[in-house]
Amino acid sequence: MRIDGRTLSHETSETIRRLAVRRVKDGEAPSDVITSFGLCRTTIYKWLQAERRGGAAALTARKHPGRQPALAPRQKLQVRRWINGKDPRQYGFDFGLWTRQIVAALIAQKFEVRLGVTAVGRLLAELDITPQKPLRRAYERDPVAIKRWTTTVFPRVRARAQRVGAKIFFLDEAGVRSDQVLGRTWGLRGQTPEVATSGRRQSVSAISAVNARGEFWYELYTERLNALRFIELLRHFMRRRQSPVFLVVDGHPAHIAKVVAQYVQSLAGRLELHFLPGYAPELNPDEFVWNHLKRQGVSKTPLRRDESLRSRVESDLAAIQSQPALVRSFFHAPSVAYTRD
């Protein structure tokens, strides 16, 4: 049976070459030797010629150099630097997301090397660059204010809270709707699966507050959040609290209203409001409460007939409240690492 030598490993090929040459030297006919191995007849003559010219070392297996890479190692690292933390628009492209086509166009523009999208995909994988869903960041963000909050303002708030025996809570509100986009499911290509759910839209608003010790407070409400409603919620939050509270909130109009400030002053130091920089929700650990509820809680599953969304959300929030370790884990995210001592 004829064997394709190209299918053999380098080590096996080398062993066969050495054995074949030795048998020929011992007196066997080259044609008989090569036939016994099932290889092409003319192959053995190349081996014999190579051995005569270069000795036994000429029969050693050598790794084929393969095709020359289109990009040098330094060029590959340059591609990584272009992409890491950068936006295609910084290089003159109209689109704000990296695609293989844009990377290929940038490589062609900078290095005059043309790569197909498949080759670009392999290059990105080699550079440990993977497709990811980007986080949205508002143009209005103030990086200076964010850095000042994490490195100067909040450390001072934390130090003063320790001096006066106050607890620091982070507060946030969110809305949950019954017609929000569901998670993914599997189905045949080209046949989008259908999920039966109620056509009656339900919505629930909720507010919660967390601290690094695992304490969790929440309340559901249906009215639109305004200053008076926020004051009422603050009253419920402060009920039966023995120690002062430093409450970190965002710049929602209801939070910064004058009547809210007057209510806080009326508590004579029992409550202080501290405001996060604008357009920086990732600095608030309470954001992870809503991420967890919408991704892991039963609230994300389709409502059954005549089922109440409010009871679903209530159940999810109660479950979070019963797990202090889960609440503490919200403070371990990299974006809120500044909150830890």
Question: In this structure, what is the dihedral angle of CA atoms 110, 114, 119, 125, given to the nearest 10 degrees?
Answer: 0
d(CA 213, CA 215): 6
Task: Please state the pTM of the whole predicted model.
Answer: 0.63
User: Quick check: 314 and 263 in contact, CB under 8 A?
Assistant: no
**Is 126 strand, coil or helix?**
helix
Check pLDDT > 70 for residue 278.
yes
The pLDDT tens digits of the residues spanning 19-57 come to 888 888 888 888 888 888 777 778 788 878 888 888 877
Half-sphere exposure of 156 (CA within 13 A, CB side): 6
pLDDT at site 51? 81
Q: What are phi and psi of 333, to 5 degrees?
A: -65, 145
pLDDT at site 138? 63
Burial status of residue 84 (CB atoms within 10 A of its CB: 0-12, 13-18, 19 or more): exposed
* Amino acid present at 65: P
- pLDDT averaged over the chain? 86
Q: Which fold has domain 143-339?
A: Nucleotidyltransferase; domain 5 (3.30.420)
The pLDDT tens digits of the residues spanning 212-257 come to 999 999 999 988 899 999 999 999 999 999 999 999 999 999 999 9
d(CA 208, CA 219): 7
Q: Which residue has the tokens 């190349």?
A: 46
For the chain, give every domain's residue range.
Answer: 5-59, 73-126, 143-339
- Average the pLDDT over 132-156 and give the result: 85
Q: Which residue has the tokens 């492209």?
A: 93
Token representation of residue 46? 């190349």
d(CA 222, CA 205): 6
